[in-house]
A and B are shown apart, each in its own frame.
Chain A
Amino acid sequence: MSLIKTDNLPEHDDFYAELLATHKGLSEAESHALNARLILILANHIGERDVLSEAVALAREVD
């Protein structure tokens, strides 16, 4: 399987709002830590080594 780059999350506005809400009131360091935990949790859920490498490369490339 390769990384999905087209729209794949229904109700993404809901998720985006939830993401911001969960960061509310956190310090910068706490936000970084939360993001790190979230990435690790999602990586485990995705469970596909190739997909994760593609995602890492894409995130890097866009910057």
Chain B
Amino acid sequence: MSYDYQPFEYVAPPGLTAKEPQHKVIIVGAGPVGLAMAIELANHGVASVVLDDNNVVSVGSRAICWSKRSLEIFDRLGIGDKALAKGVTWKIGRTFHRDHEVFNFDLLPEEGHKMPAFVNLQQYYVEQYLVDRALEIDLIDLRFLNKVTAVEQAEDSAHVRIETPDGEYSLAADYLVACDGARSPVRSMLGLEFEGELFEEHFLIADIRTQGNFASERWFWFEPNFHPGQSALLHKQPDNIYRIDLQLGWETDPDEEKKPENVIPRIEKVLGHSDFELDWVSVYTFQCRRLRDFVHGRIAFAGDSAHVVSPFGARGGNSGLQDVDNLGWKLAAIVNRGASAGLLDSYNRERTHGADENLKNSSRTTRFMTPADGIERTFRDQVLKLAGKVPFARGWVNSGRLSAPCVYPSAAPDNIRLPAATRPGSVALDAPQGNGWLLQSLGGAPRLLAINCAAPDLGIDVVELAETPMVRARYLGDAPQALYLIRPDQVVSARWIETDKQAVQAAIDAMWEGRA
């Protein structure tokens, strides 16, 4: 392996010798979602204990495509520039049928955003950066080799039993966030089940190291000549590592397919040469499923523990970070100052909505890639055939609709003269501001964003944004001025062309109560 896996230090927790006082938040799982959750909570002044049964970062590259929104979140967590510098930036995707390109897309056709559409970066690097950052923060108590073996909750607290190399102990907290992955032990211990679809398909996933010269683009093939009848994906990562996904069919044996003597000939056919090393291989099946509710009393689920999707839209890791973005400020407001529990209901409402959009898109992609025999395959094959000849059909070819933040349903004040892209429920769009960027000045606190107008004094920091053609296109439309209320997760909460103090105060109250 090219990545140098260094075990993180285990320290015997105080709870082994004396009962610890009740903590604010326990986070189970130190993957990208759990670590991001801890840093986000710390940014809002909330202390947490992070428990992980392991002591190394992700084995294998796993989540590699980090979306613009995830990079913006990373920026707030303090690892944005690092991820950007190390990652492979890309925005063009090309789709091939047999050996012809049928379709390509540009995910970020416009300028004026700090972050690119996507960077590819192995999950182990993301975890390493997040661990390094978390270790700098006093409010985060990171405990490796601390395995949760039992969970229960009371009216006002969550309790866990933990196994360590030095014995067992118990911990309690006001809230627990389960970020313990697709096979979430917390979910099992609470007896909760996923609902949704399991697709009968096997995919081989391989990371290879080669001095190849492939473009920084996403290449997807339907029925390539080198892998007849199936689909394939090639994606570049840092360190000359390439991700290759190959559809295998349901009748294959995962353990056989994982053997190097079977993997290597397949990769040779993709690359057309044998000058490469295998870095990591796995075989996976698709699931598109979620928990019915992401909040159960004092326990919230975020990331793969709450929802799993097929990987072809980069909607797994990215949606987990969007969960963190949504939950962090809400949980902090409740823990810090007893804000309305309606905020947790709104996390559940908004992120199940987001999960449904991800599930819908990834199920459709999966269906297009692995059509059932009969009419479904006929339609799929004829879309591909038309796409070679007729422009409209190119957009119908579905090799993945890539992760973009959903728009949360909202009944907040709005004015339809203002641009649709920044309507209430949407993530605020970035724009250059002075020598920096708008999203950086919005930060992680509620803001009033004022363009060509004065903002009322309501104890919320005001960000004044100078009008430019970009700002006009993203925030004004044909209106002379606008005032936006932005939530701590940079989601537009409400907006007006003209307003008064009372209306803005009412919108602020609604925001802190989690009303839609």
Contacts and interface: CB of A to CB of B under 8 A. Distances in A.
Interface in A1-19: 4-9, 12-13, 16-17, 19
B392 A17 contact: no
B398 interface: yes
B85 interface: no
Nearest to B378: A31
Given A13-B398, A16-B364, A6 B392 contact: yes
B436 interface: no
Contacts of B396: 12-13, 16
A62 interface: yes
B238 interface: no
Interface in B383-439: 383, 385-386, 388-392, 395-396, 398, 401
A20 interface: yes
A51 B285 CA distance: 44
Interface string B278-294: 00000000000000000
Given A13-B364, A19-B379, A63-B385, A5 B374 contact: no
B375 A12 contact: no
A33 to B, nearest CB: 11
Nearest to B360: A17
Contact of A7 (B361, B379, B385, B395): B395
Contact of B391 (A5, A12, A19, A20): A5
B318 to A, nearest CB: 19
Interface residues of A, number: 20
A37 interface: no
Contacts of B385: 62-63
Interface string B350-364: 000000000001001
B152 interface: no
Contacts of B388: 62
B390 to A, nearest CB: 5
B379 A20 contact: yes
Contact of B389 (A7, A13, A62): A62
A62 B381 CA distance: 12
Nearest to B392: A7
A39 interface: no
Nearest to B401: A13
A7 B391 contact: yes
B367 A5 contact: no
B383 to A, nearest CB: 8
10 contacts: A4-B392, A7-B392, A13-B398, A16-B383, A16-B398, A17-B364, A58-B390, A62-B388, A62-B389, A63-B385
Interface of B: 361, 364, 367-368, 374-376, 379, 383, 385-386, 388-392, 395-396, 398, 401
Given A16-B364, A16-B398, 19 more contacts: A5-B390, A5-B391, A6-B392, A7-B391, A7-B392, A8-B392, A12-B395, A13-B364, A13-B396, A13-B398, A16-B383, A19-B379, A23-B375, A23-B376, A58-B390, A61-B389, A62-B385, A62-B389, A62-B390
